[in-house]
Amino acid sequence: MAGLSMRRAIRIWVGASTVCGPPRAAAKGWENRVKIAIFGLGYVGFTAACCMSSQGRSVLGIDVNARKVADILAGISPILEPGVDAMLAEGLRCGLIDAACEADARLGDCDMAIVCVGTPSSADGSHDMRYIVQVTEQITRAAGFAARTGR
């Protein structure tokens, strides 16, 4: 991941879980400038995006489901979860929430990537990691683009 950004190292978390708290004022100091990419805008990723934006963080959500991305950008939550509708509306209004189907050069502006795609059970009971592999390939492509463009 060293080539992802010339200015920042990027950390990747997989399978993050979140707890929603009440909205609070924007984070102070350097935390206020942190940009977070979230891969997978399902129950975990979308809730995380809403909670983080409600705390003043800039969030770029990435999901392969174009309908889900379009709905989010239109202010329509893809899930039913208390409080997310208001947090989404406020995040869009403040320019803190963005969404896309593919990681692109904007990933180079992010300080951290959180991977929240599904890991369903395979027939033999093991985790099906195909979506994690796809995200890894997306990040690799975006990192190559960022390195080539110097972002």
* CA–CA separation, 102 and 84 (whole Å): 23
Report in angstroms how near the CB of residue 64 gets to ligand NAD at its nearest. 4
Taking CB under 6 A as the rule, does residue 18 contact ligand NAD? no
Member of 3, 73, 119, 151 binding ligand NAD (CB under 6 A): 119
Q: Which stretch binds ligand NAD (CB under 6 A): 2-10, 24-32, 37-45, 52-60?
A: 37-45
**Cβ-based neighbours of 16, under 8 Å, separated by 6 or more:** 44, 48, 114, 115, 116
Taking CB under 6 A as the rule, does residue 41 contact ligand NAD? yes
* CA–CA separation, 140 and 127 (whole Å): 22
Beta bridge partners of 38: 61, 114
* CA–CA separation, 33 and 63 (whole Å): 23
Query: What are the strands of the beta sheet with 112-115, ordered from one edge?
Result: 11-14, 112-115, 35-39, 58-62, 97-100
Contact characters 58-77, ligand NAD, x per CB under 6 A: ----xxxx--x---------
Taking CB under 6 A as the rule, does residue 23 contact ligand NAD? no
Question: 122-151: which residues touch ligand NAD (CB under 6 A)?
Answer: 131, 134-135, 138
Contact residues for ligand NAD (CB under 6 A)?
15, 17, 39-45, 62-65, 68, 116-119, 131, 134-135, 138
